[in-house]
Structure 1
């Protein structure tokens, strides 16, 4: 296909508005959440507002912020990752939302609890223990954390609900719950870390109970039209072969309780969006999720670049990759939106260039982009 034909298709397919519950997004391009650690004291400053606002001004339809810690002492492991609680922190986030809205974009915070990934003595609250479903780390060791009690579960559920209510109050357009990559919610979903024998452990459906209760509490804490997104993945941060679901039937069993609890859209995280999720069909994880739940979905994974994002954090760059395959899938309504990560990290104008057919101006990813916030 010629460059001009690809440009015309990109403009036609990606520029269409889409709706998630009560939110209409101006186009099909989202910014994927990427931890940046430029918020000392957990407070997003003017540089963070400018960082997101710049991408909204360059035609990103929906900003999903970097993960931001909920109000639970064990939620985080860095004092430079933003928090979604506290007067100064929320005031900073309100300015971020204002900057994005001024540029015509929509924005949702990604609400995050790291669970057993947390290291002993780590900030922002050094005395807080790591917590998880069974006190087991992703590598199967018990580590120095603890299995969550009923009170712990209630406290974390309340923290997510409180953060969602705060997001609506200060002007955000929805929330995304981080249920992917081996963090707390995902630790309950995955048999490798959830060995509980109570109602929150056991078979796949039982392992969704904690996540579904968080979704339900969030749904109750916000207006009915306020979008609730849920990000999930098969892979974990140190185990790329991990699977929550080995078949479409298992994936349906996993997603159905979450959809019933109030998820409005699923953000299906994969390392390479073009790979089929199960044998016998070309659908990727977002495609299967939409087919099985009927909910809008967002795909993600090395969009516009050749090489997955994990290598970027090891200092590797990545050349530009065409998006004809992505456009084919979107044209057939396999999924509803595409989240772009590293390509937008290095090139804030990526969306504008793609929507306007300026493919020859797209930049390869340079890992040096991780070192600055611009």
Structure 2
């Protein structure tokens, strides 16, 4: 299926949505399932929408092989909202008072630690700040606490372009994992973590819904100060509908799950994602103009950061790439340089087009 006048969108989030999903949503917008209305105009408790909700949960369970011992919550507030909800729901499990360990590998895990400090002891167990967040601290250097309630890390740092190569072993402490930028991009063993969370706006669909996958034995431990909307046990008891949920975002996420299943599931998309990342990194590594500064074993497959060795060329690079239909390549203001986010919806052809542009720009520079 082709779509006229569609750019290659390398934005970090909200990011590209598969064209097939957008086309289906457009076709159904005014008259969804013959009801004479759109899905966003019906009651969230109607049988029609509840069918959408239940099907989305079932498809996500299939895609990620989530066992029944885990609850799936579809919430609002994004990862930043969960940075507050997580300590309020789990920190009380600390043996000597509210406490959690944090592995800080970039700006997002740093934000998580700072938010958690409001609710208890947020212990910095390891950090790569002294290495400009260009790597993951060696597991042997982590100073984990005996009395912490959980260990938190960010699987993929969207801004810096660092990704964990596997799920770390932290013993019997529950792992809390921010998968905002990597959910459904690769296979993971859900049972290795206690909580997996992330927004939909990178690998799934539009912004608005936040997915929280929590082991059921971790429900029911919230602090008294926890607002009802952030209390996982209350949301679980109300099918994530303690308040009116983001119905259109849930519907779109469901379409995204269907699209991914049709593509062959997570295993199939992971292979394509690796191919895209290899193509771009291999070109950067042999280039005399571009460089990537992340340790090779921890390079993100979703957010490829790179720099022009002559930064006087940055403005020209961005102007010309944008004119070529390769948009949103400017790096985050905190780190500078360039960033190509190549999430699930980015086709291999888009990365091929980017590499060809980069090669031509280097030749002309």
Q: Which has the higher contact order (CA 8 A, sep 6+)?
A: 2
**Is TM > 0.5 for Structure 1 vs Structure 2?**
no
**Structure label with greater radius of gyration:** 2
- Structure 1 length-normalised TM: 0.29
